[in-house]
């Protein structure tokens, strides 16, 4: 180490730039409340008194420009699928998507005869975390958000990705 050894006081932290950026992005992601159906109520319960999401730094934002992560909560229909894509494109980078509930994951209970139901939101937007359940408990959604935080921590934004 040579030059740098024994130079810094206790209040200086040294880390890789990648990890620092990941750490800054992952804590306190603001979520875009895209509540569509029943899962939206569980998302609201997760944000309300008992399972408080704000203590983890997650604030609900209604505009896509101000949000980091889009929680697609509920069934996406064909009529709505085009709007989901548009809203995803309006979000600013870096952006992540959580598919909450079995309807957003793979069509849910409506997979068999639902002619108007999109069988999984990953057909129109790329999804990072899937939270199963019908509807998933607020604790499950919080676990999904924490898993997303781990994923963001491990991202290496500065290196060029292999094609």
List residues binding another protein (CB under 8 A).
Answer: 33-38, 40-42, 44-45, 48-50, 60, 62, 74-75, 77-83, 87, 106-107, 109-119, 123-124, 134-135, 137
CB of 148 to another protein, least distance (A): 21
32: which strand partners? 61, 70
The most distant pair of C-alpha atoms in the chain lies apart, rounded to whole Å, by 69
Shorter beta-carbon distance to another protein: residue 25 or 137: 137
Shorter beta-carbon distance to another protein: residue 18 or 122: 122
Shorter beta-carbon distance to another protein: residue 74 or 144: 74
CB of 68 to another protein, least distance (A): 17
Residue from 148, 112, 156 nearest 130 by CA: 148
Structure tokens at 126: 């790329």
- The answer to whether 25 and 94 are in contact (CB under 8 A) is yes
CB of 15 to another protein, least distance (A): 37
CB atoms near residue 133 (< 10 Å) = 15
Q: Is 33 exposed, middle or buried (0-12, 13-18, 19+ CB in 10 A)?
A: middle
Residue from 122, 119, 90, 89 nearest 106 by CA: 119
Shorter beta-carbon distance to another protein: residue 73 or 145: 73
Shorter beta-carbon distance to another protein: residue 35 or 151: 35
CB of 87 to another protein, least distance (A): 6
CB of 43 to another protein, least distance (A): 10
């Amino acid at each position: 180490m040579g030059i740098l050894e024994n130079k810094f006081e206790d209040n200086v932290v040294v880390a890789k730039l990648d990890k620092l950026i990941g750490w800054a992005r992952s804590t306190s992601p603001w979520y875009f409340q895209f509540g569509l159906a029943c899962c939206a109520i569980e998302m609201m319960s997760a944000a309300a008194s008992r399972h408080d999401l704000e203590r983890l730094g997650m604030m609900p934002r209604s505009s896509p420009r101000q949000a980091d992560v889009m929680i697609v909560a509920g069934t996406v229909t064909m009529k709505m699928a085009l709007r989901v894509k548009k809203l995803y494109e309006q979000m600013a980078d870096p952006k992540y998507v959580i598919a909450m509930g079995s309807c957003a994951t793979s069509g849910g209970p409506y997979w068999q005869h639902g002619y108007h139901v999109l069988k999984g939101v990953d057909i129109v937007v790329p999804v990072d975390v899937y939270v199963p359940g019908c509807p998933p408990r607020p604790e499950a959604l919080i676990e999904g958000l924490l898993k997303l935080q781990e994923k963001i921590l491990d991202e290496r934004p500065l290196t060029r990705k292999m094609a």
